[in-house]
Structure 1
Amino acid sequence: MGRVDGLTLSWEEYLRLEEASPERHELVEGVPYAMAGASKAHNLLVGNLAFLLRPAARARGCRVYTETVRLRLGERTAYYPDLMVVCTPSPDPFQEEAPCLVVEVLSSGTRRTDLTEKKERYLALPSLQGYLLVDAARKRVLLYRRLEAGWALEVFGEEERVDLPCLEASLPVDAVYEGVPLEVE
């Protein structure tokens, strides 16, 4: 993800940039960052996750969005999560503000941001019940789950199942990685 040099934008300026640009940008405290392309492993993981989560989401009246729907986090920040589950309607056709589950695929280029900056902002969302991180380099899934006392980190590996918050569904780790050649770090 590359910073667009010299720009600090208002929300309205950012929306105009997104509308006019052939590439997507995430906005962090008013600064737009061009989105980088994804690896085949990343793409396959997102596809598997969407396929696995969609039936549970539909059963609960929720929607699953992948990569091209913006998540607004206040007046000066917006991301494009790899996947998010939203159970409350939003009138905006291009963005959401209240997901119950956000998923990011950890790759060599995104790992640090997903585990620090994005994690901090996502966990501050009142609607969020879970932040799922899927490693593209090894069969390992991390889940930050909201509890009454705060956030708890759970780690899952091969042959394990992740009980997902808000969907009341179980996600088999092996199915997430089915057909996915892991990235080499």
Structure 2
Amino acid sequence: MSTNLQENVTLEEYFELDLASDEKLEYWNGNVWSMSGASPAHNLIVINTGAEVRAQVIDKGCLVFPSDMRIKVPSYPPYRYPDLTALCARPEFERIGGVDVLLNPALIVEVLSRSSEAFDRGDKFSYYQSIPTFQEYLLIAQHRPYMSRYWKQEKGLWLVNEFTDLSDMIRFNSVPCELTLAAIHRAVDFERDAEKPIVRPQPF
């Protein structure tokens, strides 16, 4: 979930705000957005997925980073905060705005919300594709068992498959890992924990 905090902010002002803030703040076209306020389901899914992936790859020379790891997105500067990132290579960093920003993620994971799903599937995915090392993209629903998995083919083409059953097994290409939707959604109560839809008053 994101909330627009300030408008008409310079990049230098944003760097100062982000460094001083306890929240994760993102910048685009003069606007500063807070990336806080996730639902219980969102947080459980991020923790479950990160723990499962890390347990399988940590002894194989791979790394998993949580949502406070900034990544550089060349076509969507200066940097972004994905829910999870992973790679099986030596991590490379660039100092941007006084902080270390990861340059070479292979796997990016985002947990969908009703407010962000269209952007995560559309423009954000397109922006992420400007990262040369980016190979695999997971989009996980929080209100039902569901995941889209995109993976990069030769000549820059991307394929996608979808998983909708808790018993479905997902095998990753970018890191040596496989896990079920049940593991990803462990302890999630879809009715209780997921982001609630926005109810707008109807005109008479």
Common topology (TM > 0.5): yes
Determine which of 137, 159, 164 is the counterpart of 1:152: 159
Contact 1:145 1:153 in 2 (8 A): yes
Identify the residue that residue 201 of structure 2 maps to in structure 1. none
Unaligned runs of 5+ in 1: none
Q: Write the letter of the residue equivalent to 1:106.
A: L
Identify the residue that residue 80 of structure 2 maps to in structure 1. 79
How far apart are the structure 1 equivalents of 2:125 and 2:101?
19
Contact 2:112 2:140 in 1 (8 A): yes
How far apart are the structure 1 equivalents of 2:14 and 2:56?
34
59 and 115 in structure 1: CA distance in 2 versus 1, 3 angstrom threshold: same
Comparing 119-128 with 28-37, greater Cα deviation is found at 28-37
Contact 1:23 1:34 in 2 (8 A): yes
Identify the residue that residue 6 of structure 2 maps to in structure 1. 5
SS of the residue 1:72 aligns to: coil
Percent identical pairs in the alignment equals 28
Identify the residue that residue 136 of structure 2 maps to in structure 1. 130
Q: Could you report, residue by residue, the CA deviation over 1:8-64 in whole angstroms, capped at 9, with x for unpaired residues?
A: 433x54322211223221122453212231000000000100110002331331211
Q: Could you report, residue by residue, the CA deviation over 1:95-122 in whole angstroms, capped at 9, with x for unpaired residues?
A: 2121000000011232122112211111
Q: How does 1:50-89 map to 2 (within 5 A)?
A: 50-74=50-74, 76-86=77-87, 87-89=89-91
Q: Write the letter of the residue equivalent to 2:91.
A: P
How far apart are the structure 2 equivalents of 1:13 and 1:88?
32
Structure with the bigger RCO (C-alpha within 8 Å, sep 6+) is: 2
How far apart are the structure 2 equivalents of 1:63 and 1:7?
37
Give aligned pairs, total: 184
* CA radius of gyration, larger in: 2
Identify the residue that residue 36 of structure 1 maps to in structure 2. 36
Q: How does 1:165-176 map to 2 (within 5 A)?
A: 165-176=173-184
Unaligned runs of 5+ in 2: 198-204
TM-score, normalised relative to structure 1:
0.89
Q: Could you report, residue by residue, the CA deviation over 1:119-143 in whole angstroms, capped at 9, with x for unpaired residues?
A: 1111232101100001001101101
